[in-house]
Amino acid sequence: MKTLFIVVFVALAGTCLAQQRGKDSACVYDNGQFPHEDYCDYFYDCIDGVATLQLCPNGLAFLGKGRGLLQSCDYPKRAGCPDGKRVMGQSPISTENCNWLWGRFPHKTSCTRYWECWNGTYTLRNCGFSLLYSTESESCDWPENVPGCQQHPTCKNIANGAVPIENNCKNFWQCIGAYPFLQECPAGLAFDPQFLSCRLATTVPGCEPPPTTEAPEEEERPASGNRRRTGAGLQRQNYQSLDTSSANQTPLQNNRVNDRPQFRTAPGK
């Protein structure tokens, strides 16, 4: 009996030791997802202590289970990659306007726009008013936080303020953070380059509205007269015409209906 107990104890101890040795070191817990030690776009998916290596979509980095833009992965900047230790491990797969299949990428000629790529398909996006796209944060940011787009030829003499457009009464440039945004004056107003603001168009030289000319009265009378001759008015006019024609007739003509010959029976019949 004692021998049997020792055999069972040794067997159980061996099983526990084998289970401990079988648990992957990448698994902090038996179940869950954990970052790769070298690459941002790789991660471990652990089930019962067994780790399976997984890849993020091309261009995204591991952020955490249920925390990412897609699956458990998000834009590298949001995931803090690179962090001085880890880098992207996959090779970029590029398409038109997309450096990777997934991600946000700057526009070549505009600081207010950027490309958003989903599985290699790009969409042109615009930053909100007064914001510029930052490659550092991969998002829209205030102009003072986007050094590469602060110096613009239109705003070289003024960082914040209005700049007139030559021979243009309606539009002007509004410089914010040394970057221009096209603006338009409301209806009835024009941009005054002297005051650098929208003012009444009649007070801005060269932007006065053209004079309006009224149609001659002779052209309006027939139209208004025709409108009065519709419906009941036209009927009254017809009645007046009939009355007038009756007034011009002689009494003999007026009584012509009553002057019909009378048929009489012959005498004696």
Report the pLDDT value the prediction gives residue 33, as an integer from 0 to 100. Answer: 95
Structure confidence by residue, pLDDT tens digits, 101-149: 999 999 887 888 999 999 999 999 998 877 889 988 889 998 888 877 7
Report the pLDDT value the prediction gives residue 108, as an integer from 0 to 100. Answer: 85
Q: Which residues, 6+ apart, have CB-to-CB distance to 161 below 8 Å?
A: 174, 175, 196
| Residue 79 DSSP code | T
Per-residue burial over 206-225, b = 16 or more CB atoms within 10 Å of its CB, e = otherwise? ebeeeeeeeeeeeeeeeeee
CB atoms within 10 A of CB 198: 20
Structure tokens, 86: 């880890």
CA distance 192 to 198: 6
Report the pLDDT value the prediction gives residue 222, as an integer from 0 to 100. Answer: 53
Residue with the larger pLDDT of the pair 231 and 6: 231
Which of the residue ranges 73-87, 125-139, 177-191, 236-250 would you say has the lowest mean pLDDT?
236-250
User: Which among 175, 170, 167, 169 is positioned nearest to 150, based on CA atoms?
Assistant: 175
The answer, yes or no, to whether residue 160 has pLDDT greater than 70, is yes
156 falls in which pLDDT band (50, 70, 90)? confident
Report the pLDDT value the prediction gives residue 214, as an integer from 0 to 100. Answer: 67
The answer, yes or no, to whether residue 233 has pLDDT greater than 50, is no
The answer, yes or no, to whether residue 243 has pLDDT greater than 80, is no
Residue with the larger pLDDT of the pair 235 and 207: 207
Q: What domains can you pick out in the chain, each with its CATH number?
A: 23-90 (2.170.140), 92-145 (2.170.140.10), 151-208 (2.170.140.10)
239 falls in which pLDDT band (50, 70, 90)? very low
CA distance 150 to 134: 11
Report the pLDDT value the prediction gives residue 221, as an integer from 0 to 100. Answer: 53
The answer, yes or no, to whether residue 90 has pLDDT greater than 90, is yes
Structure confidence by residue, pLDDT tens digits, 176-185: 767 778 899 9
Instruction: Write the single-letter amino acid at 239.
Output: Y
The answer, yes or no, to whether residue 54 has pLDDT greater than 80, is yes
Kind and range of the H or E run holding 55: strand 50-55
Could you tell me whether strands 132-134 and 139-141 are parallel, antiparallel, or unpaired per DSSP bridges? antiparallel
The answer, yes or no, to whether residue 217 has pLDDT greater than 70, is no
